[in-house]
Amino acid sequence: MDQLKPHDIALPTRPKGSTITQWLYDELRRAILEGRLRRGAALPPTRRLAQDYVISRRIVVNVFNRLRDEGYLETRAGSGARVSASLPEDYTPPRPPKPAARPSLPTRPARIRPFRPVEPALAEFPIETWARLTARITKSLGLAHLAAGSPAGEPALREAIAAHLGASRGVACHPAQIVIVSGAQQGLDLLARALLRPGDKVWMEDPGYIEAAEIFRRAGAAIVPVPVDADGLDFAAGLKACPRPRAVYLTPAHQFPTGVTLALPRRLEILNWARRHNVAIFEDDYDSEFRFSGRPLPAMKGLPGADQVCLVGTFNKALFPALRLGYLALPDQWLDPLLRLRSLVERHPAVLPQQVLAAFIDQGQFATHLRRMRRLYADRLQALRQEIGHHLEGVLELPEIEAGLNIPARLLNGMSSTEAAESAANHDVEVWPLDRFSLSRRRHPALLLGFAAFDRRAIRRGAAALAQALR
């Protein structure tokens, strides 16, 4: 192929700020890539190009050499430079196709707004200790641990939990009666599927934990709402509504969402009746660790005659929600059906996090963390009382509570709880309307306010914003 005439590669004028070398390199490379200098075409001799553009020949030689080194030109002794038959771009991998647009996944809100009700103080969790334990235990796991776990959970963790329940919840149970689950939610689901039959009636506290009701419904059960008063579930009202349910769901330590404690005479009455009529009791003990005042009441499972009670416990509030570990303390007669179901759907829970948690409990770090959190949460509740008193006197009324991460505030301004929560959201405050937890037509003019996750400043700002929303 003939050598190109200089005008065949007419180069645009050099822009200001560019060196001659850079300009010549950029323009020749661009001409090659755009096909104006075709593959195999001979370039003019360096001397002629230098003359035509009135530049130093040395610069042209340097640029040709660089383009040759990069694979854009081929030079052969005596025949000048030609555009390479194959260009470096031929070898670059094709760009991956743009991923098809997908619906975005729900994620946790980046910022937790006051007064999100079920949030623990995550910033206070001793993550360094947890990380050290995780590293140590990962290294110490033998091949047997890598092969499989037990359907009921790791023996080390079940022993640690049985000891914890004995000491702090007054529950005498054997590690063999403990089944590790991913949290209260999974515990309730396994119980419902193993024990309930379509059409079975289940008493639920009203207002109550609607996500438990949803699980029982999905197992085919019919929900019987039973009102809650200052002493907890109204047993007499329950008997009137449905005298022979198959099961009763209770949050006796700290009723969700009203915060009341199920009174001892009612506990005994319910246990006695459940035993006589073979009624299963699901005791959801979800946040009883956070009792900061008053006498610690043992779990119902710890009372005499509690052979119909399954205690459902969780570490997801006491430690951190993403942990996903909890437990069931089961009556012997329910162990078999429950473990058969568990093996079928999941084999066993993941081994490593259970081993880490067992060490965390055994070494006393769990107890230390709980002690610290009890003090912190008591202080934060006190701060909330002061700020609500200051900003919302006559609008919100806080009851006395002795445990938990949240408090139901009574609305005194005539708003419904849903209206109030919507108005709060418009002022960047998250509160949950108690009407959301109503299982009947009963209305509850109250808002659930969390305090555990917020320091004094956040509480002050939240209370001021809430005052604007509710006044």
Q: Which stretches of the chain bind ligand PLP, using CB under 6 A?
A: 118, 183-185, 209, 251, 256, 284, 286, 314, 316, 326
User: Rounded distance, CA 370 to CA 125, Å?
Assistant: 10
CB of 283 to ligand PLP, least distance (A): 11
Q: Report the residue number, 284 or 402, with the smaller CB distance to ligand PLP.
A: 284
CB of 217 to ligand PLP, least distance (A): 16
Burial of 190 by CB count in 10 Å (0-12 exposed, 13-18 middle, 19+ buried)?
A: buried
User: Beta partners for 181?
Assistant: 326
Q: Report the residue number, 284 or 289, with the smaller CB distance to ligand PLP.
A: 284
User: Rounded distance, CA 457 to CA 156, Å?
Assistant: 41
Q: Which residue, 28, 36, 34, 29, is CA-closest to 11?
A: 28
Burial of 374 by CB count in 10 Å (0-12 exposed, 13-18 middle, 19+ buried)?
A: middle
Going through 320-405 in order, the beta strands assigned E by DSSP cover 326-329, 396-397
CB of 89 to ligand PLP, least distance (A): 54
Q: Which residue, 162, 189, 160, is CA-closest to 342?
A: 189
Burial 83-117 (b: 16+ CB within 10 A, else e): bbeebeeeeeeeeeeeeeeeeeeeeeeeeebbbbb
CB of 464 to ligand PLP, least distance (A): 27
Q: Report the residue number, 288 or 417, with the smaller CB distance to ligand PLP.
A: 288
What residue number has its CB nearest to ligand PLP? 183
Q: Report the residue number, 302 or 326, with the smaller CB distance to ligand PLP.
A: 326
CB of 353 to ligand PLP, least distance (A): 14
CB of 99 to ligand PLP, least distance (A): 32
Q: Report the residue number, 27 or 284, with the smaller CB distance to ligand PLP.
A: 284
CB of 146 to ligand PLP, least distance (A): 27
Query: For the chain, how are helix, strand and coil distributed in percent, rounded to 5?
Result: 45, 15, 40
Q: Which residue, 190, 244, 207, is CA-closest to 222?
A: 244
Amino acid at 333: Q
CB of 448 to ligand PLP, least distance (A): 10
CB of 404 to ligand PLP, least distance (A): 10
DSSP string, 238-259: HHHH-SS-SEEEE--SS-TTT-
Q: Is 294 left (phi over 0), alpha (psi -120 to 50) or beta?
A: left
Q: Report the residue number, 185 or 355, with the smaller CB distance to ligand PLP.
A: 185
Question: Which residue blocks in 170-263 are alpha helix, DSSP H?
Answer: 184-195, 210-218, 235-241
Ramachandran angles phi, psi of 403, nearest 5°: -155, 165
Q: Report the residue number, 67 or 233, with the smaller CB distance to ligand PLP.
A: 233
Q: Report the residue number, 184 or 309, with the smaller CB distance to ligand PLP.
A: 184
Q: Report the residue number, 275 or 324, with the smaller CB distance to ligand PLP.
A: 324
CB of 213 to ligand PLP, least distance (A): 11
Locate 438 and state its tokens: 């109503």
Q: Report the residue number, 286 or 454, with the smaller CB distance to ligand PLP.
A: 286
Q: Which residue, 416, 418, 407, is CA-closest to 463?
A: 407
